[in-house]
Chains A and B, each alone.
Chain A
Amino acid sequence: MAKISMRDVRKSYGKDQVVHGVNLEIANGEFIVVLGPSGCGKSTLLRMIAGLETITAGQIAIGDTVVNDLEPRERGCAMVFQNYALYPHMTVAENIGYALKVAGTPKAERMARIAAVAASVGLGDFLDRRPGQLSGGQRQRVAMARAIIREPRVFLFDEPLSNLDAKLRVQMRHEIRRIHNRIAATSVFVTHDQQEGMTLADRLVVMNKGVIEQVGTPSEIYDQPASTYVGGFIGSPAMNFLSGQVDRATHSVRLASGDRIDVSPAIAARNHGKLVQIGVRPEAMTMVPAGQGTLNATFEFVEELGAGRLYHMMFEDLTLTVLAGDRQTLAAGAPVGLHIPASAVHLFDADTGKRVEAAPLAVVEQVPA
């Protein structure tokens, strides 16, 4: 059993707090991706699980053991580092087998296990090479093999793919997922690449400025972003944002320009008068002839994406983007209508940035109706 549970985990360097009270339960065998921009505290969190950083406050348990004061070697975690951290003076075999050597595993057994693990990641022919003689992808595999050989309960990945080129990155991503499925360890994977996060994770943890913004499956996070931050961070091209005020009578949000964007009556009823941010994904808007849509905007330019096109519009002083499959030819400055269906609108509190729901969220506030 290697579930991981974190209770109010905090980390400060002197007065500078970088992780502010993280609560997270990770189930045995789960693949968790911690996603966030650089400096959000995600690597620090990972290193606290590994034991490479002390825990300033709170508690981390792996399995049923509180590991706060355990040394890294006592925690049963293996880690893959961003720059691989291979021992430059050792051969591939020595790199992979170093943990076993330290643990005093007999040489014959060590060699057998090294050979087996190396073969499983496709390094069988490279055992006598030094890391300096390997390609980026091969080094990555050595780093993986070094972690796998220890049969860890918990697998930690610290942005392991960020030094690879785009194609290799996708390939290694698949490989990591396969390895995870095979060895059935609990995996925690830290990255700033949302695509990596969306594709790898059983559950995503989105972090920002040392706090968890949202935890959920990739589709939950995409469909129901819990805050403007998550809405803006997840999804490419990025979500459009507009500011306005909720009006119950018309079931809409009134923008400063006087335009109205329809929302569901239930939301409007609960939040009358509230200042909000409206989030709309580019693919959820459609272009219609001028005057017939929710808003009237001015076309600026188009980006060809191959599978579709990204149309850039000016609305007031904002840039809005629409992702559409069809190929329209528009002149710069042409007026365009934008249709925004009520179902496509995400509402966020203008002050807190938190999602505004029609019904109270069961997990957030459990107030009896």
Chain B
Amino acid sequence: MIERTPFLNIATHVILLSGLVIIIIPIWLAFVAATLTLQEVNSAPIELWPGNQLWANLVEAWTISDFGTKFLNTLIVATSVVVGKITLACITAFALVFFNFRGRMLIFWMIFITLMLPLEVRIVPTYAVAANALSPFQTILEVTGINWLINAVSGIEVALEWNLLNSYTGLILPLVATATGTFLYRQFFLTIPDELVEAARMDGAGPLRFLWDVLIPLSKTNIAALATIMFVYAWNQYLWPLLVITDRANYGMVVVQLSDLVPDQLTTGGGTPTWHLAMAATLVVMLPPIAVVIFMQRWFVRGLINTDK
């Protein structure tokens, strides 16, 4: 397009660059802090250019936080959540779209309503469930009197118990249920023409074959899009692991580890705050999801927009 707008173009660059600067400032300052020594980082005015302690600080932050184990844990949890969420979303949406049965809409709405129950608002009772994931069933047995019946008949006291605290399962399971992913898949499955289903049936393929041979290959872009946003989501979980994992040494996740690094009275005991280590750790922790977003930008943007719309 031929448009002579030199002043507006300059203004555009100025505005966008200011935006970038505003966005980058806190992270830049954190980065600079991570390159300084304890004395430098605590001297006013704030240092604006990096020093030479980055590697040393990274190593020290890594060691005191035992990031080796925690990165591994986070990776295990994030990967499992990604795989679990995608699998669940895919099979649930498949059953909802390609089978006709009564209660289909009811189930759809039941999944839909979970959107309105974010973890944060039901955190206390969810924690209680995690302490014994079978407690709902135990309660049902007791309230309905079945337990009493069993006891009377066989003399066995049924006590269901499955403690999820301090376990990978406890970290993963509550994060795996996914309304958004199910909707994304449902939207995609609804675009599959009827003829394709009919052709598959003419070819003698059953539902599972159809899912595996036709739908899953077709939904590769969906998978990529979901995987990127779910990875970021899972990696950045904070509140849930903070509660479920008390055994941080074995099951700690990196993001939670950050709360231990806040250089307040608790950690420094009145000493000089170790900002350089806290910031070094922050950088390390935020890097993997940023890398995913940058390198998978196309999928990430598509996933974000399609799941939330």
Mark A residues whose CB is within 8 Å of B.
51-54, 69-72
Cα A53 to Cα B4 in complex, Å, equals 13
Cα A71 to Cα B2 in complex, Å, equals 5
- Which residues of chain B from 1 to 45 have any CB-CB distance to chain A below 8 Å in the complex? 1-4
- Which residues of chain B from 210 to 229 have any CB-CB distance to chain A below 8 Å in the complex? none
Please give, as numbers and ranges, the residues of chain B lying within 8 Å of A69 by CB-CB distance.
2, 4
Please give, as numbers and ranges, the residues of chain B lying within 8 Å of A52 by CB-CB distance.
1-2
Cα A52 to Cα B1 in complex, Å, equals 4
Cα A70 to Cα B3 in complex, Å, equals 8
Inter-chain residue pair count (beta carbon < 8 A): 16
5 other contacts beyond A69-B4, A70-B2, with CB at 8 A cut-off?
A51-B2, A52-B1, A53-B1, A54-B2, A71-B2
Please give, as numbers and ranges, the residues of chain B lying within 8 Å of A72 by CB-CB distance.
1-2
Please give, as numbers and ranges, the residues of chain B lying within 8 Å of A70 by CB-CB distance.
2
A9 to chain B, nearest CB (A): 14
Please give, as numbers and ranges, the residues of chain A lying within 8 Å of B2 by CB-CB distance.
51-54, 69-72
Cα A70 to Cα B2 in complex, Å, equals 7
Of chain A, the residue at the smallest CB distance from B1 is A52
Please give, as numbers and ranges, the residues of chain B lying within 8 Å of A54 by CB-CB distance.
1-2
B2 to chain A, nearest CB (A): 5
Of chain A, the residue at the smallest CB distance from B3 is A71
Cα A54 to Cα B2 in complex, Å, equals 6
Please give, as numbers and ranges, the residues of chain A lying within 8 Å of B4 by CB-CB distance.
69, 71
Cα A69 to Cα B1 in complex, Å, equals 10
Chosen A-B contacts, 13 in total, with CB atoms closer than 8 Å, are A51-B1, A51-B2, A52-B1, A52-B2, A53-B1, A53-B2, A54-B1, A54-B2, A69-B2, A69-B4, A71-B2, A71-B3, A72-B2
Cα A167 to Cα B193 in complex, Å, equals 30
Cα A334 to Cα B295 in complex, Å, equals 67
A61 to chain B, nearest CB (A): 15
Cα A53 to Cα B1 in complex, Å, equals 5
A-B CB proximity, top 5 nearest: A51-B2, A71-B2, A52-B1, A54-B2, A71-B3
A338 to chain B, nearest CB (A): 44
Per-residue 0/1 for B111-126: is the Cβ within 8 Å of any A Cβ (1 yes, 0 no)? 0000000000000000
Of chain A, the residue at the smallest CB distance from B5 is A71
Cα A71 to Cα B4 in complex, Å, equals 7
- Which residues of chain B from 75 to 126 have any CB-CB distance to chain A below 8 Å in the complex? none
A173 to chain B, nearest CB (A): 30
B213 to chain A, nearest CB (A): 35
Cα A349 to Cα B123 in complex, Å, equals 83
A286 to chain B, nearest CB (A): 46
Cα A115 to Cα B36 in complex, Å, equals 72
Please give, as numbers and ranges, the residues of chain B lying within 8 Å of A51 by CB-CB distance.
1-2
Cα A70 to Cα B1 in complex, Å, equals 10
Cα A148 to Cα B3 in complex, Å, equals 23
Q: Which of B1, B2, B3, B4 gathers most chain A CB within 10 Å?
A: B2
A46 to chain B, nearest CB (A): 14
A50 to chain B, nearest CB (A): 9
Cα A54 to Cα B3 in complex, Å, equals 10
Of chain B, the residue at the smallest CB distance from A70 is B2
Of chain A, the residue at the smallest CB distance from B4 is A71
Cα A264 to Cα B213 in complex, Å, equals 64
Cα A349 to Cα B232 in complex, Å, equals 65
Per-residue 0/1 for B50-87: is the Cβ within 8 Å of any A Cβ (1 yes, 0 no)? 00000000000000000000000000000000000000
Of chain B, the residue at the smallest CB distance from A51 is B2
Cα A54 to Cα B4 in complex, Å, equals 12
A162 to chain B, nearest CB (A): 23
Cα A54 to Cα B1 in complex, Å, equals 6
Please give, as numbers and ranges, the residues of chain A lying within 8 Å of B1 by CB-CB distance.
51-54, 72
Please give, as numbers and ranges, the residues of chain B lying within 8 Å of A53 by CB-CB distance.
1-2
Cα A45 to Cα B198 in complex, Å, equals 46
